[in-house]
Amino acid sequence: MTSETSSGIWGWDIVKLILVGSVMFFGWILFAYGFTEDATREAIRWTARISVVLFSLAFAASGIHRLIQNSLSFWLLMNRKYLGISFAIIHLIHLFYLVVLQYNFHPVFEKAKTISLIGGGMAYFFLILMLLTSFERFSKFLTKRQWKILHTVGGYWILYIFLRSYWKRALTEYEYYPLAIMLVLVIIIRLWPKKIKRTVEG
């Protein structure tokens, strides 16, 4: 089975669908709340939640397919690039709303701890590099090994930042339990040992 012969949403259609749905959703938030601090904070919360789900699906796709090997896991594996691109775009929109909050309603960056700003800044540094090298125009400057190291190290750093953030929130707010648990599952899936192929001589 290949993406060309399978029905459903594949490739860039995934990115388009996620972006159109997100624009409509955030447009509704703006319409419902107006240009207010509440609207901005709601957009920040939802861009974070959407992006963490997209990231988790993309980063765990190969591990999920290795463990399950069904049509859904195959779809995730074949479309992890586009889920990753969608994650990057939504998370950049998240940063945009943080900037809006900073300059219009609340000095969020000034009140954040330096260690948090450094950690988050590094996550966005990796995110941008990973996004750019998802396209052949930029990936051609890297060897396959360099590309793999960048996307593995960057992915784990972003996972760490998400995990640190959501587990901290989950300690006081039960609504964050599902996302925190999901991130732990991503770690387990990623680190799950690969099956060792044994050959029988004789």
- Structural contact between residues 46 and 99, judged by C-beta atoms closer than 8 angstroms: no
Give the global pTM.
Answer: 0.90
pLDDT digits (tens, 9 = 90+) for 43-67: 999 999 999 999 999 999 999 999 9
pLDDT digits (tens, 9 = 90+) for 72-112: 999 999 999 999 999 999 999 999 999 999 999 999 998 88
**Structure token digits, residue 180:** 């925190």
- Structural contact between residues 58 and 80, judged by C-beta atoms closer than 8 angstroms: yes
User: In whole angstroms, what is the distance from residue 76 CA to residue 10 CA?
Assistant: 10
- Structural contact between residues 87 and 95, judged by C-beta atoms closer than 8 angstroms: no
Predicted confidence at residue 171, as pLDDT, reads 86
Average pLDDT over residues 172-181: 91
